[in-house]
Amino acid sequence: MKYLVIVLSVALSVLSNLGCSGNSDSDHVDDMAREHADDTTESNEASQASPAAAVETEMVEYANVNGETATGYLARPAGVEGPLPGIIVIHEWWGLNDNVRSMAEQLAGEGYQALAVDLYAGESADTRDGAAALMSASMENTEALTENVKQAFAYLDGDSQRVGTIGWCFGGGWSLATALALPEDVDATVIYYGRLVTDEDELAPLQMPILGFFGAEDQGISVDSVHAFETSLNALGKDAAIHIYEGANHAFANPSGTAYQAEPAQDAWEKTLAFFQAHLKSSS
């Protein structure tokens, strides 16, 4: 009996450390709250970088879910007519804030039309408790969030050559969720330290290339879950590149947060741009 108790205890411990389907929604929110315990959303020099080229931006109504209009932030290269490759940009657990709008502008400066979606119904947070409450509330109706991102895809797809997804933290998980909801439609998916799915049956329908970035010191999205995700993708023969940065924590790529680490963040961004260039712009 003592041995059985020990085995069960170890099994539960492993499950509690998985940032994937083995972890409950409430546990995942708790994990994110712990990872962001000392974090902020303060704007700084790194988060105010100018796009590589001039862009134009506007707030657009891109979806209507359960009678509620979803408004997002659309950034495009300035003065460019005609269809462009599109990218659905999905916010962190803080919500659609200045940092995420800046990331959309950065992508627009590289030649994409980038739609920063809103999965928090117009709200955002600048405290850990506020973000946890918004994330928890959103996870109570994943069907609505799935419909939100599906309509975001449709909005871009009508005027895009190809459409990719990218997200960080909460948005990283939803970048993958968007790919799973549209497995034959999304053309490229980038995941920054987001909640993962590791079951091969769930991942099998995915047709797009996948790029993922994770921190070795992230206790919310565990390295074990990242390895399990990569192993499942490889077993299925998927086109996937997964990068784990030694010494990096959760949210290492958020320039407005205290966890920001310039070296892995810059490397990940360069890889992100090369990935989208290859899969959204390439004529092959």
pLDDT over 70 at 44, yes or no: no
Maximal CA-CA distance, the chain: 72
Residue found under tokens 């992100």: 272
Percent of the chain with pLDDT over 90: 82
Residues 6+ apart with CB under 8 A from 270: none
Paired tokens of 224: 């074990």
Using the 8-state DSSP alphabet, how is residue 49 labeled?
P
Domains and CATH numbers, the chain: 2-281 (3.40.50.1820)
* Class of residue 180 by CB neighbours under 10 A (exposed 0-12, middle 13-18, buried 19+): middle
Q: How far is CA 98 from CA 41, 125, 126, 243, 277, in A?
A: 9, 11, 11, 26, 25
Question: Which residue, 154, 144, 88, is CA-closest to 116?
Answer: 88
Q: For the segment 107-151, what is each residue's pLDDT rounded down to a tens digit? A: 999 999 999 999 999 999 999 999 999 999 999 999 999 999 999
Q: For the segment 120-129, what is each residue's pLDDT rounded down to a tens digit? A: 999 999 999 9
**pLDDT score recorded for residue 22:** 53
Categorize the per-residue pLDDT at 277 as very low, low, confident or very high, splitting at 50, 70 and 90.
very high
Query: How far is it, in rounded angstroms, from Cα 102 to Cα 108?
Result: 10
**pLDDT score recorded for residue 80:** 92
Q: For the segment 168-211, what is each residue's pLDDT rounded down to a tens digit? A: 999 999 999 999 999 999 999 999 999 999 999 999 999 999 99
Give the pTM: 0.91
Residue found under tokens 């389907």: 21
According to DSSP, the residues that pair with 244 across neighbouring strands are 214
